[in-house]
Amino acid sequence: MREMHYKNTSLHGELKVPGDKSISHRAIMFGAVANGVTTIDGFLLGDDCLSTVDCFRKMGVQISIEDEQVTVIGKGWDGLKEPIDILDVGNSGTTTRLMLGILAGRPIHAVIIGDESIAKRPMKRVTDPLREMNASIDGREGGQYTPLSIRGGNLQNITYTSPVASAQVKSAILLAGIQTKGITTVIEPETSRDHTERMIRQFGGAVEVHNQKVAVRGPQNLTATHISVPGDISSAAFFLVAGAITPSSSITLHHVGLNPTRNGIIRVLEKMGAKMEIVEENVSEGAEPIGSITISTSTLKGITVGGEIIPTLIDEIPIIALLATQASGETIIKDAEELKVKETNRIDSVVSQLKKLGANIEATDDGMKIIGPTNLHGAEVESFHDHRIGMMLSIASFISETPIHLKNPDAISVSYPNFFRDLESLLT
């Protein structure tokens, strides 16, 4: 249990948030199957990315970590060895689904397990297309849930129309397709984050992108490179909202990833009227865009968030809900059913916990409705072992009249191990 009460404190100063979780996972995976030595800087030392490291080490890949600098010794696709041990993905959906895509093309057997939350997350969305490609996958309830076992190799290319805009589904199929003769195509209903596509190119591979249609021609060998991981905009989002809703505050976040398929939170803040300034940094051709963001206490208005912006801010919806409690008028979040299959059902967990703090918030079938502004008060709340719920409730303590007691704050280390240290560094 953590007691928090930051009311009457304001936020000032500068911060560099830790590395992007999605890019850190992918840098390890691509490094592991490329030929040569991949170096990574700004790597996120969060529990989820360390699960990815652990799984690839179990497949014989040498990975050394010194602070946020990582070296991966890649020996090509064939360098992955059949693991003697079970691959434990911990709490990480990204590890599970992307690794399944890689394993689908390998003539080895592997067993994947994770924690209680992973055991509830839908895997059929990747096991179905990978089976269609010829991978042999079994698992609980016919391969819908972990534990899963996979024996890959001898794949056939496919054209797959995904029912969900999910970068994990898209990436799993591309990672299988890039090992397979012919063209593998994924068509998604909206554009999801494109880190895999960018990384294929950074590792010397080729991928074609036309709107929501992404195609790879296989087989392709990848070549080791250097990856500089930008700060995670999904982690920055907690401080952006803290800066906007806390009186007399102004903070600058440096080196934040500004990839257009991830920057929905910026567009939402702008539309709600946040006082914000962005300075883009120069990056080399093909690299992820980065910049610094300054945000100050703002007068906010409610808006509707839905449609194609949803995949670009899916992980930021818990903190957008808190933001909306401080905006005048109604905020509607719609088209976000995917929230139900994250670390928790994030519609239920956000609504139930913000209600305890006094928010005017209701769940809908595909999101939530919030009416603001509301004065929040303290209560005993619960992260449900979901890092993003834990961080959102911690930020609520900047505007809560009385202390907030957060159960299971440890889950935050999944994506932001030094969250409280960084938060306290901005207090004045």
Ligand X SMILES: C=C(OP(=O)(O)O)C(=O)O
Judged by CB under 6 A, the stretch of 139-147, 164-172, 373-381, 394-402 that binds ligand S3P is 164-172
Among 52, 168, 191, 383, the residue binding ligand S3P under the rule CB under 6 A is 168
3-state secondary structure 384-398: CCCHHHHHHHHHHCC
Among 4, 314, 347, 361, the residue binding ligand S3P under the rule CB under 6 A is 314
Question: From its phi and psi, is residue 389 left (phi > 0), alpha (psi between -120 and 50) or beta?
Answer: alpha
Asked if 259 touches ligand S3P (CB under 6 A), the answer is no
Q: Find the shortest distance in angstroms from Cβ 314 to ligand S3P.
A: 5
Asked if 93 touches ligand X (CB under 6 A), the answer is yes
| H helix intervals, 1-46 | 21-33
Asked if 146 touches ligand X (CB under 6 A), the answer is no
Which of 127/166 has CB closer to ligand S3P? 166
> Which residues within the stretch 38-67 sit at the binding site for ligand X (CB under 6 A)?
48
Asked if 166 touches ligand S3P (CB under 6 A), the answer is yes
| H helix intervals, 59-152 | 93-104, 124-132, 140-143
* 386 tagged catalytic: no
Closest CA to 98 of 174, 176, 190, 172: 172
Annotate 290-303 with DSSP letters as a single string: EEEEEEE----B--
How many other C-beta atoms lie within 10 A of the C-beta of residue 92?
Answer: 29
Judged by CB under 6 A, the stretch of 90-98, 213-221, 270-278, 416-424 that binds ligand X is 90-98
197 binds, among ligand X, ligand S3P, none (CB under 5 to 8 A by kind): none
Q: Which residues contact 322 (CB under 8 A, 6 or more apart)?
A: 241, 245, 354, 359, 392, 395, 396
Which of 257/372 has CB closer to ligand X? 257
Among 7, 170, 195, 342, the residue binding ligand X under the rule CB under 6 A is 342
Closest CA to 160 of 183, 137, 135: 183
DSSP SS3 for 71: strand
Contact 155, 198 (CB under 8 A): no
115 assigned ligand-binding residue: no
Closest CA to 107 of 73, 134, 75, 68: 134
Catalytic-labelled residue, pool 232, 315, 386, 422:
315
Query: Binding string to ligand S3P for residues 175 to 194, with x set by CB under 6 A, is what?
Result: -----------------xx-
Query: How much of the chain is in helix, strand and coil states, percent to nearest 5?
Result: 35, 30, 35
Which of 75/340 has CB closer to ligand X? 340
Q: Which residue's C-beta sits nearest to ligand S3P?
A: 22
Q: Find the shortest distance in angstroms from Cβ 22 to ligand S3P.
A: 3
Annotate 323-353 with DSSP letters as a single string: HHTTSBEEEEE-S-GGGGGSSS-HHHHHHHH
204 assigned ligand-binding residue: no
Asked if 344 touches ligand S3P (CB under 6 A), the answer is no
Whether residue 163 is preceded by a cis peptide bond, meaning omega within 30 degrees of 0, is no
Among 10, 92, 326, 331, the residue binding ligand X under the rule CB under 6 A is 92
How many other C-beta atoms lie within 10 A of the C-beta of residue 314?
Answer: 21
230 binds, among ligand S3P, ligand X, none (CB under 5 to 8 A by kind): none
166 assigned ligand-binding residue: yes
Which of 341/363 has CB closer to ligand X? 341
Query: Binding string to ligand X for residues 288 to 317, with x set by CB under 6 A, is what?
Result: ---------------------------x--
How many CA atoms within 13 Å lie on the side-chain side of 291? 13
Asked if 198 touches ligand X (CB under 6 A), the answer is no
> Which residues within the stretch 191-220 sit at the binding site for ligand S3P (CB under 6 A)?
192-193
User: How far apart (Å, rounded) are the C-alpha atoms in residues 129 and 120?
Assistant: 19
Q: Find the shortest distance in angstroms from Cβ 343 to ligand X.
A: 6
User: How far apart (Å, rounded) are the C-alpha atoms in residues 200 and 205?
Assistant: 5
Give the annotated binding-site residues for 3-phosphoshikimate: 21-22, 26, 166, 168, 315, 342
Q: Which residues bind ligand S3P (CB under 6 A)?
A: 22, 94, 166-168, 171, 192-193, 314-315, 338
Active site residues: 315
Give the annotated binding-site residues for phosphoenolpyruvate: 21, 93, 121, 168, 346, 388
